[in-house]
Structure 1
Amino acid sequence: MDGLQILPLAITMMIGPQIMSAIIFVTTPRAGRVSLGFLAGVAAATAAGVAVMMGLAALLDSAVDLGSSRSNGSAGQIIQYVLVGLLAVAAVKNWVRRETVEPPKWLTTLMAADLMKAFQVGLFVILLMPSDIVIMMTVGIHLQQNNASYAAALPFIGLTVTVAALPLLARLLFHRRAEVAAPRVRDWMNTHSWLINIIVCIIFIALIID
């Protein structure tokens, strides 16, 4: 996968509660420690998730030929189009329910998280988020269609962790300004979670049908 493909995928992996968690962690008293735990969880979850999805794609390919990534009629492409339909339904649902959609309640508990809790959150925001599962599935199918090894997924994994690290990097680079801005960004994302969910769906739909 080239840079033009993995950059949007890595960004989409972290849009939503994922990046909201990272922002919350940099506003805690132990920002550096818990943020590193969170990043370790994200790295482990993404690496494991991609490996599992590549294995599932290989099993599926042995049963039903996934075909080439350039073939519009291939089984792999049909699966991705089904995912587009599901994402479109999710986007419409978020729009209809925009007045009542709220961020996950567990986000409010992160201010008191320790290193282990932050690591677990890093795991769960990747492995339990439907959007991230779909993205890793897409990566697995793409690599299987192109007969690529797991090493080809390493840039995607590394870039996903880099995106997750942006709030911490901003705090380290800009110090006081980042400390003031981070709570404002966190609060805005809390009140606009429905919009963030729609943006994730639209971006991923665009990536699949491109």
Structure 2
Amino acid sequence: MDSLKILPLAVTMMVGPQIMSAVVLVTVREAVRVSLAFLLGVAVATTAGVAIMRGLAALLGSAVDLGDPSQDGSLGLIIQYVLVGLLAAAAVKNWVGRETIEPPAWLGTLMSATPGRAFRVGLLIILLMPSDLIVMATVGVHLEQTGGSFAAALPFIALTVLIAALPLLAYLLFRRRAEAAMPRVRDWMNANSWLVNIVVCVIFIVLILT
């Protein structure tokens, strides 16, 4: 597996409501405990998601030939191009509806999240987020095409968790500045959720096509 190609996909795993959740959680009481629970949920969900997608890709690969990643007409690449089309459509939809798009209502409820709730959010925000499912499906197809084992995806999983941990790391390293800045970051992301969604789609498209 080309790790240089797959590792950047970890960025798209956390851009959007995912990173917005991480930012919100460092502004609550017991921010460290709650954020660590969230990170554990992200780690478990990403590991399980990649394993499931790897298994599905193996089943697909045993039924049809996904081809070599270097072949322009391989089924594996065709699947990725279909994903690009879906992401492009999603980006256009976000742009057209930008005046009415609002962040998910559940983000506001995170202000009173407990560690248990944060863990569940970490799980579900990965396993139920369409963009993350697409990313993990892409990882699974790459693993199957290149004959990589599940271990080849561990750097991707680790980087996903690290990106999810950035707000917490900023909070721990720059406590006072972070306490002042994070609420502003949270409010900006809430007000510009449509732009965040478009950025996610564009980054993922670029990563797939390059």
Same fold (TM over 0.5): yes
Q: Is the 8 A contact 1:6 1:155 kept in 2?
A: no
Give a deviation string over 1:89-129, Cα, whole Å, max 9, x none: 10000000000000000000001111110000000110010
For 1:42 and 1:111, the matched residues in 2 are separated by 18
Is the partner of 2:73 in helix, strand or coil?
coil
**Shift in Å at residue 81 of structure 1?**
0.5
1:77/1:6 CA distance change after superposition, 3 Å: closer
Map 1:48-197 onto structure 2 (within 5 A).
48-197=48-197
**Shift in Å at residue 3 of structure 1?**
5.0
Q: Is the 8 A contact 1:84 1:208 kept in 2?
A: yes
Query: What one-letter code is carried by the residue in structure 2 that aligns with 1:157?
Result: I
1:58/1:3 CA distance change after superposition, 3 Å: closer
**Shift in Å at residue 2 of structure 1?**
4.8
Query: What one-letter code is carried by the residue in structure 2 that aligns with 1:26?
Result: V
Query: What one-letter code is carried by the residue in structure 1 that aligns with 2:162?
Result: T
Structure 1 residues without counterparts, runs of 5 or longer: none
Identity between Structure 1 and Structure 2 (%): 70
Give a deviation string over 1:7-48, Cα, whole Å, max 9, x none: 421111000000000000000011000000000000000000
For 2:113 and 2:2, the matched residues in 1 are separated by 36
For 1:3 and 1:56, the matched residues in 2 are separated by 20
TM-score for both structures, normalised by structure 2: 0.98
For 2:162 and 2:35, the matched residues in 1 are separated by 12
For 2:5 and 2:162, the matched residues in 1 are separated by 16
Query: What one-letter code is carried by the residue in structure 2 that aligns with 1:203?
Result: I
Query: What one-letter code is carried by the residue in structure 1 that aligns with 2:115?
Result: L
For 1:177 and 1:24, the matched residues in 2 are separated by 15
For 1:66 and 1:6, the matched residues in 2 are separated by 18
1:174/1:18 CA distance change after superposition, 3 Å: same
Structure 2 residues without counterparts, runs of 5 or longer: none
Q: Which residue of 1 aligns with 2:19?
A: 19
Q: Is the 8 A contact 2:7 2:155 kept in 1?
A: no
Q: Number of residues paired by the alignment?
A: 210
Superposed CA RMSD: 0.9
For 1:2 and 1:66, the matched residues in 2 are separated by 16
**Shift in Å at residue 138 of structure 1?**
0.2
State yes or no: 1:38 paired with 2:38. Answer: yes
Query: What one-letter code is carried by the residue in structure 1 that aligns with 2:187?
Result: D
TM-score for both structures, normalised by structure 1: 0.98
For 1:153 and 1:137, the matched residues in 2 are separated by 12
Give a deviation string over 1:130-164, Cα, whole Å, max 9, x none: 00000000000001100010000000000000000
**Shift in Å at residue 70 of structure 1?**
1.4
**Shift in Å at residue 71 of structure 1?**
1.2
